[in-house]
Structure 1
């Protein structure tokens, strides 16, 4: 009986540690991501070409390629991401940036930090 209690308590201890680690991972960088400033870009200063942009912070990491022609954003391709993002959220952000021709677009509700991570990588591509 004593041995069974030690095993049960050990399993509970491991579950608590895994749960606490998971919560730390999920919330790590959340506040700084929500407060991340996204700056506008001046497309009149950008020559035609493809520009790579990267953003990495906490569990948010992605790389994009932004194609510019005639001082307009023509295409944005997600080259690499470690986020498990909703593809609809990603396409919404990309489409909004292309439509507005700037990075100062609204974030997707419920995906603020992920949205800002993509916006920052686009800004970084166009601010080189």
Structure 2
């Protein structure tokens, strides 16, 4: 019986360690992402072409290619998605950026950090 209790205690400790590690992984970069400053972009000042941008922020890390045509953002391609992508959020955000021609837009409700991560990689591409 004592042996069984030791095994059960060991299993519980292992589960607790795994849960703590998971919480750490999921929340790593969260505060930084919430406080991420966005500076905007100025497409009319850019030459036509495709620009590559990266944002490195834990599970929100991503890479994009931004195409400028006739001094306007014409396409945004996600090269490397965030760790837990939400295609509907990404699609809506990219549509807004192309429609408004800026990264100074509101985040999609419930996905603020993910949106800011994508907006920052778009800025990083166009502000080089």
Global fold match (TM > 0.5): yes
SS in 2 for 1:39: coil
SS in 2 for 1:59: helix
SS in 2 for 1:89: helix
Q: Partners of 1:81 and 1:87 in 2: how far apart?
A: 9
Which residue pairs with 2:63 in the alignment? 63
Q: Partners of 1:2 and 1:17 in 2: how far apart?
A: 23
SS in 1 for 2:61: strand
Superposition CA RMSD, Å: 0.9
Unaligned runs of 5+ in 2: none
The answer on 1:72 being equivalent to 2:68 is no
Q: Is the 8 A contact 2:97 2:105 kept in 1?
A: yes
Alpha-carbon displacement from aligned partner over 1:15-40 (angstroms, at most 9, x marks no partner): 00001111111111111100101111
TM-score by length of 2: 0.96
Q: Partners of 1:34 and 1:82 in 2: how far apart?
A: 15
Which residue pairs with 1:119 in the alignment? 119
The answer on 1:39 being equivalent to 2:39 is yes
Unaligned runs of 5+ in 1: none
Q: Partners of 2:74 and 2:44 in 1: how far apart?
A: 14
Q: How many residues align structurally?
A: 128
Q: Is the 8 A contact 2:82 2:114 kept in 1?
A: no
